[in-house]
Amino acid sequence: MMEMDDRTQAIHAGLQAIVGSDQIFTGVATDRWSRDWTGQFEGMPLAVVRPGTCEEVAAILHLAGQYHVPVVPIAGNTGLNGGAYGAGSILVSIERMNRIREIRSGARVAVVEAGVIVGALDSAVAQYGLTFPLTFGAAGSAMIGGVLSTNAGGANVLRYGNVRDLCLGLEVVLPDGRVLDLMTALKKDNSGFDLRDLIIGAEGQLGIITAAVLKLHPRPLFHATALVALEDLREAPALLNAFQDASGNAVTAYEFMSRSYVAGYEKLMPTARRFFETSYPAVLLVELATVRNEEMGELLEAVLGDAMEREVVADAVIAQNDAQRQEMWALREAAAELAFRKHPVIDTDIAVPVDRVAEYIERIPKLMAAIDPDFTDISVAHLGDGNIHYTVWPSKNDPTINAALRAGIDALAVDMDGTFSAEHGVGLCKLPSMKLHKNCIALDVMRKIKAVLDPQNILNRKKTLPDV
């Protein structure tokens, strides 16, 4: 271990007294926490500490307040925007707080600690015929505390909403070490400010989430899944409405993949199945799900048949079994792997109104070409809710050009009545856009809330809220 000054030694001694020496990591032992998944943010923390209880988290924050040392909570470390970057800070990893405290199948709720992995929770409730329907590529490693802190979305938002809509209650340690107990399973509670929703999406700036009460849903028993090729993406909203009307709103996923995205996947995965002989401008992944109706496949086929007769759909492939369904999902869920296979990369997370997605996809390459004529790109979208993940690879690693590309992507979204941040959080990446585009009064209110709850500015400082 490197030589430490008296203050650092005192902090380490205090942490050891709270969690024990085997749950504290310093120096090179912090490597797996100090570098994020994207490889864009790397910095050695003062220490990584792994508490096992809410009380230990409270003691850590009380200690941090005594020494005015910054604290950064970290969960599965699957974020894309630098929200868990913690150079010089105490990184509080919640990975040991991974107990599912209770599954109440009759009420369809689960009481879990913040370190429970999203996919593990879904697997645990399957035996009760239930699902925790938060679906995205990192579900096998992302943790409940992390997804709540960013209000994560994913492919099933169309049917079930963001994680905010799946949360009934929270246990939160405030920056001063007090524990805020909001662990109710109530669907109606009008007793004052909604502090739960204030914490969700705050990216760990107002408190560290240690547990949650989560909604569960009936687990679909039947899926009807298809890949649908379009020549014109502008037809997609009406096609979604046709699926929803015919199925009684049973669409769980409505995902878009661009021509360049599909080509990139086929190059990255040369042995993967090719679903279409022709390259199309837009490929949609459509999935309907139900707990009881085995005729969803016939319904999907009927809607697609009608759309093909009207020349709205150019081609379609319906999954005939679960293996083919998984192949289709593998195509869509390779997005992060495709985006970060090359550097430099500008990976963004914007949203526009659903009926303007096609317009954005058409306009944004022209804007990029004006900044960097030799750029390349891919795009995917949660088309049902207007959330676009647009990825640009600049032709060279020029920070000025890179910043201009990101600024252009965000500005066009805002200009089209959208947002520069849809589901991944703000973190460090989007601070310039937050400063430029977020309503100044909203920023002022957020800063004041932060100052009241965290007057020492200990928790996840310099994230989300730009300097005045």
Domain's final residue, options 333, 354, 383? 333
**In a shared domain, residues 117 and 210:** yes
CA distances for 433 relative to 112, 164, 421, angstroms: 34, 23, 9
CATH of the domain at 179: 3.30.465.10
269, 338 Cβ separation under 8 angstroms: no
Residue 466 lies in a domain: no
460, 83 Cβ separation under 8 angstroms: yes
* Per-residue model confidence (pLDDT) at position 291: 82
Asked, as a colleague might, if the bond just before 455 is cis with ω within 30 of 0, I would say no
**In a shared domain, residues 308 and 229:** yes
- The candidate with the shortest Cα–Cα distance to 84, out of 67, 97, 71, is 71
* Per-residue model confidence (pLDDT) at position 232: 97
* pLDDT tens, position by position, 114-164: 999 999 999 999 999 999 999 888 888 899 999 999 999 888 898 999 999
Residue 457 lies in a domain: no
140 contact partners, CB below 8 Å, separation of at least 6: 117, 118, 119
> Taking the CB of residue 222, how many other CB atoms lie within 10 A of it?
15
174, 210 Cβ separation under 8 angstroms: no
- The candidate with the shortest Cα–Cα distance to 396, out of 409, 387, 405, is 405
The torsion angle over the Cα atoms of residues 420, 423, 426 and 427, rounded to 10 degrees, is: -150
First to last CA, the chain: 39
Residue 381 lies in a domain: yes
CA angle 339/315/246 to nearest 5° reads 100
**In a shared domain, residues 89 and 104:** no
Q: pLDDT under 70 in the chain at which residues?
A: 1-4
HEC per residue, the chain: CCCCCHHHHHHHHHHHHHHCHHHEECHHHHHHHHECCCCCCECCCCEEECCCCHHHHHHHHHHHHHHCCCEEEECCCCCCCCCCCCCCCEEEECCCCCCEEEEECCCCEEEEECCCEHHHHHHHHHHHCEECCCCCCCCCCCEHHHHHHHCCCCCCHHHHCCHHHHEEEEEEECCCCCEEEECCCCCCCCCCCCHHHHHCCCCCCCCEEEEEEEECEECCCEEEEEEEEECCHHHHHHHHHHHHHHHCCCEEEEEEEEHHHHHHHHHHCCCCCCCCCCCCCEEEEEEEEECCCCCHHHHHHHHHHHHHHCCCCCEEEECCCHHHHHHHHHHHHCHHHHHCCCCCCEECCEECCHHHHHHHHHHHHHHHHHHCCCCEEEEEEECCCCEEEEEEECCCCCHHHHHHHHHHHHHHHHHCCCECCCCCCCCCCCHHHHHHHCCHHHHHHHHHHHHHHCCCCCECCCCCCCCC
45, 90 Cβ separation under 8 angstroms: yes
Question: Cα(151)–Cα(159) distance, rounded to whole angstroms?
Answer: 16
**In a shared domain, residues 308 and 417:** no
Residue 467 lies in a domain: no
Question: Cα(53)–Cα(372) distance, rounded to whole angstroms?
Answer: 50
Residue 282 lies in a domain: yes
Dihedral pair phi/psi, residue 90, rounded to 5°: -85, 115
Residue 318 lies in a domain: yes
Query: Which tokens hold the place of 179?
Result: 């524990």
**In a shared domain, residues 326 and 366:** no
CATH of the domain at 248: 3.30.70.2190
Domain's final residue, options 218, 233, 252? 218
Polymer length of the chain: 468
**In a shared domain, residues 357 and 420:** yes
Residue 268 lies in a domain: yes
**In a shared domain, residues 238 and 212:** no
* Per-residue model confidence (pLDDT) at position 2: 43
CATH of the domain at 365: 3.30.70.2740
**In a shared domain, residues 350 and 296:** no
If you compute the radius of gyration of the chain from its CA atoms, what whole number of angstroms results?
23
**In a shared domain, residues 308 and 282:** yes
> How many domains are there within the chain?
4
CATH of the domain at 51: 3.30.43.10
**In a shared domain, residues 52 and 87:** yes
Domain's final residue, options 218, 235, 270? 218
In the block, tokens 């926490």 appear at 33
**In a shared domain, residues 312 and 417:** no
360, 417 Cβ separation under 8 angstroms: no
* Per-residue model confidence (pLDDT) at position 4: 65
CA angle 84/88/90 to nearest 5° reads 65
- The candidate with the shortest Cα–Cα distance to 145, out of 228, 193, 202, 89, is 202
Residue 116 lies in a domain: yes
* Per-residue model confidence (pLDDT) at position 320: 94
**In a shared domain, residues 229 and 319:** yes
The domain in which residue 314 lies consists of 222-333
